[in-house]
């Protein structure tokens, strides 16, 4: 039996389309900070899907060290981490000229009545409550979360 005969009759004469896969251009470098590895991985996956090259850290001091060693275009950070909080991290980074204008997104699992205001005062661009909706995260990054 020929290879042509082995193909379903409807497809036997059809031209086969060849797909070209081009690497997606990066939207930049993103740093994800959360003390929960599962949440860190989920946030990183959403950002990779949005076109970012992602680095992760599991504490604010580790994130600060990473931010000092290379420049990031986006920060997504948990607020309630042991030791240094996400609010403290945002304040330190916003004091640096290279981090004054990048989007910084706060995420938290313990959303209190004044957390959103405190996040904005600390320098975050947006504040999201866990569980994180991937579409809300993408809107927050683009500045359309309101």
CATH of the domain at 64: 3.40.50.2300
**What distance in Å separates the CA atoms of residue 126 and residue 112, rounded to the nearest whole number?**
15
Residue 19 lies in a domain: no
Query: For the chain, which residues score pLDDT lower than 50?
Result: 7-8, 11, 17-23, 145-146
DSSP one-letter code for 123: T
Domain count of the fold of the chain: 1
Q: What is the pLDDT of residue 84?
A: 95
Q: What pLDDT sits at residue 53? A: 95
Please check whether residue 85 lies inside any domain of the structure.
Answer: yes
Residue 30 lies in a domain: yes
Q: Which one, of 80, 76, 73, 144, lies nearest residue 118 by Cα?
A: 80
Find where tokens 């036997």 sit. Answer: 12
* Residue 15 maps to a domain: no
The answer to whether residue 37 sits within a structural domain is yes
Task: Count the residues in the chain.
Answer: 146
* Residue 1 counted as domain residue: no
* CB neighbour list of residue 36: distance below 8 Å, 6 or more residues apart: 78
Phi, psi of 126 (to 5 degrees): -150, 160
pLDDT at residue 144, rounded to an integer: 54
- Tell whether 129 is covered by a domain: yes
Q: Which domain holds residue 98?
A: 25-142
Q: Is residue 13, in this structure, part of any structural domain at all?
A: no
Task: Judge residue 113's burial from the number of C-beta atoms within 10 Å of its C-beta, 0-12 exposed, 13-18 middle, 19 or more buried.
Answer: exposed
pLDDT value, residue 19: 44
pTM, entire model: 0.80
Cα–Cα distance, 97 to 104 (Å, whole number) = 14
């Amino acid at each position: 039996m020929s290879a042509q005969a082995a193909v379903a009759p409807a497809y036997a004469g059809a031209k086969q389309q060849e797909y070209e896969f081009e690497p997606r251009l990066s939207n930049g470098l993103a740093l994800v900070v959360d003390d929960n590895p599962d949440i860190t991985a989920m946030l990183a996956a959403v950002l990779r899907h949005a076109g970012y090259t992602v680095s992760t850290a599991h504490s604010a001091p580790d994130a600060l060290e990473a931010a000092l060693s290379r420049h990031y275009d986006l920060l997504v950070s948990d607020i309630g981490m042991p030791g240094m909080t996400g609010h403290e991290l945002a304040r330190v980074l916003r004091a640096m000229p290279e981090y004054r204008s990048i989007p910084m997104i706060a995420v938290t699992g313990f959303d209190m009545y004044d957390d959103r205001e405190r996040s904005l005062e600390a320098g975050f661009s947006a504040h999201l409550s866990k569980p994180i909706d991937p579409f809300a995260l993408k809107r927050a990054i683009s500045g359309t979360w309101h």
